[in-house]
């Protein structure tokens, strides 16, 4: 027993003293150091794996894919295929079929994606580029190309703000220099502006052949062109001469435009020119009728539009104008061919009325006398020709009157009218939307139909209502509609409450002068009350009660049936079926009749 005790004490002591006498045993139990060496790099990489870009129709979008060789030897990457998921033609292609990458180096491969000219804004295509790596493994790069709307440059619009004589005077055989100030009233720069002067048989250009030009005029900018003229001999027989100025120019996209202006000049009497004296007074003593302002009762003129043209005319000359007649379309000629005072009429049959024709009366409007400094307002009913294309048109107006010495004088004016061709569309339901209930989702089956005779391009459709929540799952872009074509769109609507509801539909588009406009249509709908839901009956614990299940009979129900049986009434148990049981005929009970034994 004592030996066992001493052996136990010796064993405990060895356990505590082992680190001092046997340190190598402790070191052997420590963990080995961790491996801090870097991981083996991937031999070949392709980046990025996905790319996104956009472009306009007809453009070519380029992508650049990086190829990396992490090995110690040169390697060759191969473009196996480049495909278009949507089937765009011409399809995408790689500039290099195989690419050599030096050891520890990087190279790039370019992928070109042509966007079809027929693509519309909002479309997209996915191109899959399959690459074969030097170790025969494959990797695919996903390219997403979306179509964006091309930028529409602003349209330039030239107007003649003023004109004046720089030198000389307008007379038969005389020379003068005419200065014309052009102003670009549009929203874009006008390029290659060319001004051509045509004086007919009355004025002959000198020096430049009647053509002036400039490289361009910025929006709201001006340009002054000067041209020298020689007055013809026939000016001795008239008091007013006209020069036609044709201005041609183009916008940033190369679209050509042309505007025509008519310049009216007062003719002075020639002195010492060898011409015989005439009754034409000096220009300073002439009346001068000017259209100070004009307007139409229809804001946007379209082919076939009937409108009233209102003109404010003022005599800004130095004498009175008598027996004034306005000739729409110009081309006024006097039937009295002499300069001496004779009776005669005014002819307006040669007026230019191709685009705007008078209604309810002829193109001659008699105004009467107009004193010096006096003003008057004229109105004429016109119609736009149905064959007139959208654009800027000038309407020539001539005023024929008699001056203070009895001579007939013609003053020509030009006004500008804009003709639009707006979309003729109908917004309606392509089927009955059905009954709408408050707090319940319904559907608005909308349809846009092109009722016009030519194609039209429309933008996004917007559906709103003040008392409802409206969501659209499909794309709201209408796009191009052929004549008779339509675009359908289903909008989910959840009215907030019952009663009348006004739904407004708006479609954005750009008119012929690149101005943003909107087509609006409203629908008046009636929302019914929300559906009432009757709650199911429940017991005291809140559990639903099945009224069709037979309930157990109570004690007092049994007592009642006992007494009913005593009095010969129906004592059967009542069946609970959830509905009131139909009355049944009481059973006939038979009682024994008393009698003696037979």
Which domains, ranges and CATH numbers included, belong to the chain?
A: 44-147 (2.60.40.10), 155-273 (2.60.40.10), 284-337+344-421 (2.60.40.10), 425-528 (2.60.40.10)
Buried b (16+ CB within 10 A) or exposed e, 463-499: bebeebeeebeeeebbeebeeeeebebebebbbeebe
Q: How does pLDDT run across 33-72, given as a tens digit for each residue?
A: 555 555 667 888 888 888 899 988 888 999 999 989 899 8
Is pLDDT of 323 > 80? Answer: yes
Query: In the prediction, which pLDDT does 342 show?
Result: 41
Kindly tell me if the per-residue pLDDT of 450 is higher than 70.
yes
The 8-class DSSP code of residue 484 comes to T
Q: Are 527 and 499 in contact (CB under 8 A)?
A: yes
Q: Is pLDDT of 293 > 50? A: yes
Span 391-430, pLDDT tens digits: 888 888 888 888 877 788 888 888 889 999 899 999 999 9
Helix or strand (DSSP H, E) at 13: helix 2-21
Higher pLDDT, 587 or 475: 475
**DSSP letter, residue 336:** -
Q: Nearest CA to 399 among 376, 381, 383?
A: 376
Provide φ and ψ at 8, rounded to 5°.
-70, -40
28 pLDDT tier (thresholds 50, 70, 90): very low
- The pLDDT, as a whole number, for residue 224 is 92
Q: What is the Cα–Cα distance from 381 to 363, expressed in whole angstroms? A: 10
Q: What angle do CA 269, 273, 278 make, to 5 degrees?
A: 40
Pick from 33-47, 152-166, 181-195 the range whose average pLDDT is largest: 181-195
Strand partners, 100: 76
Of 287, 265, 269, nearest to 278 by C-alpha is 269
pLDDT at 120: 85
Instruction: Decide if 303 contacts 384 (C-beta within 8 A).
Output: yes
CA-CA-CA-CA dihedral for 383, 388, 394, 397, to nearest 10: -30
Percent of the chain with pLDDT over 70: 80
3-state secondary structure of 27: helix
How high is the mean pLDDT of the chain? 81
Task: Supply the pLDDT for residue 348.
Answer: 59
The candidate with the shortest Cα–Cα distance to 214, out of 243, 178, 242, 250, is 250
Would you say 327 and 346 are in contact if contact means Cβ atoms under 8 Å apart? Answer: yes
Mean pLDDT of 430-445: 90
Predicted confidence (pLDDT) at residue 14 exceeds the cutoff of 80: no
pLDDT band for 32, please (50, 70, 90 cuts).
low
The answer to whether the CB of 107 falls within 8 A of the CB of 75 is: no
Going across the sheet that includes 391-402, the strands are: 364-370, 321-328, 391-402, 408-419
Mean pLDDT of 228-233: 87
pLDDT tens digits, 249-280: 999 888 899 999 999 988 886 544 444 444 44
Distance in angstroms (rounded) separating the CA atoms of residues 89 and 104: 38
| Residue 6: per-residue pLDDT | 65
- Region of residue 391 (left: phi > 0; alpha: psi -120 to 50; beta: else): left
CB-CB contact of 176 with 231 (8 Å): yes
How far apart (Å, rounded) are the C-alpha atoms in residues 403 and 238? 13
Where does the pLDDT of residue 445 fall: very low under 50, low under 70, confident under 90, or very high at 90 and above?
A: very high
What are residue 300's phi and psi, to 5 degrees? -120, 115
């Amino acid at each position: 027993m004592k030996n066992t005790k001493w052996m136990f004490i010796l064993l405990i002591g060895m356990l505590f003293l082992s680190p001092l006498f046997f340190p190598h045993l402790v070191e052997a139990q420590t963990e080995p150091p961790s491996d801090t060496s870097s991981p083996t790099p991937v031999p070949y990489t392709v980046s990025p794996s996905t790319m996104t870009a956009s472009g306009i129709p007809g453009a070519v979008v380029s992508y650049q894919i990086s190829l990396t060789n992490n090995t110690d030897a040169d390697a060759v990457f191969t473009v196996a295929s480049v495909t278009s998921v949507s089937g765009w033609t011409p399809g995408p292609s790689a500039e290099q079929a195989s690419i050599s990458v030096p050891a520890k180096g990087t190279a790039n491969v370019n992928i070109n994606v042509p966007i079809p000219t027929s693509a519309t804004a909002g479309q997209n295509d996915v191109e899959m580029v399959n690459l074969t790596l030097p170790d025969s493994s494959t990797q695919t790069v996903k390219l997403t190309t979306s179509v964006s709307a091309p930028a529409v440059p602003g349209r330039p619009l030239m107007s003649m703000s003023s004109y004046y004589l720089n030198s000389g005077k307008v007379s038969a055989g005389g020379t003068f220099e005419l200065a014309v100030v052009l102003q670009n009233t549009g929203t874009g720069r006008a390029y290659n502006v060319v001004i051509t002067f045509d004086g007919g048989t009355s004025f002959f250009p000198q020096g430049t052949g009647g053509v002036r030009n400039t490289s361009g005029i910025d929006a709201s900018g001006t340009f002054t062109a000067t041209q020298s003229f020689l007055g013809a001999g026939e000016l001795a027989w008239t008091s007013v001469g006209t020069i036609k100025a044709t201005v041609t120019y183009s916008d940033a996209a190369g679209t050509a435009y042309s505007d025509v202006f008519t310049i009216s000049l007062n003719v002075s009497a020639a002195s010492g020119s060898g011409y015989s004296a005439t009754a034409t007074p000096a220009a300073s003593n002439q009346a001068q009728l000017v259209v100070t302002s004009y307007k139409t009762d229809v804001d946007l003129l379209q082919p076939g539009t009937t409108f009233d043209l209102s003109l404010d005319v003022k005599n800004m000359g130095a004498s009175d104008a008598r027996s004034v007649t306005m000739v729409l379309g110009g081309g006024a000629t006097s039937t009295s061919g002499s300069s001496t005072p004779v009776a005669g009429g005014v002819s307006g049959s040669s007026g230019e009325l191709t685009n705007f024709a008078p209604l309810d009366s002829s193109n001659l409007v008699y105004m009467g006398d107009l004193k010096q400094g006096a003003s008057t307002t004229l109105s004429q009913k016109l119609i736009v020709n149905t064959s007139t294309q959208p654009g800027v048109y000038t309407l020539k107006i001539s005023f024929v009157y008699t001056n203070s010495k009895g001579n007939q004088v013609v003053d020509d004016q030009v006004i500008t009218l804009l003709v639009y061709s707006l979309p003729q569309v109908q917004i309606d339901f392509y089927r009955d939307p059905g009954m709408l209930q408050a707090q319940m989702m319904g559907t608005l089956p909308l349809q846009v139909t092109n009722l016009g005779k030519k194609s039209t391009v429309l933008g996004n459709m917007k559906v709103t209502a003040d008392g409802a929540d409206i969501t659209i799952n499909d794309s709201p872009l209408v796009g191009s509609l052929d004549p008779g074509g339509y675009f359908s769109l289903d909008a989910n609507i959840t009215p907030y409450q019952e009663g009348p509801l006004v739904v407004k539909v708006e479609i954005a588009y750009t008119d012929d002068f690149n101005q943003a406009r909107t087509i609006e249509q409203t629908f008046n709908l009636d929302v019914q009350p929300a559906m009432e839901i009757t709650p199911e009956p429940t017991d005291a614990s809140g559990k639903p009660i099945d009224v069709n299940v037979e309930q157990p009979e109570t004690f007092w129900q049994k007592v009642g049936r006992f007494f009913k049986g005593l009095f010969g009434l129906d004592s059967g148990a009542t069946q609970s079926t959830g509905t009131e049981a139909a009355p049944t005929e009481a059973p006939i009970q038979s009682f024994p009749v008393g009698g003696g034994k037979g």
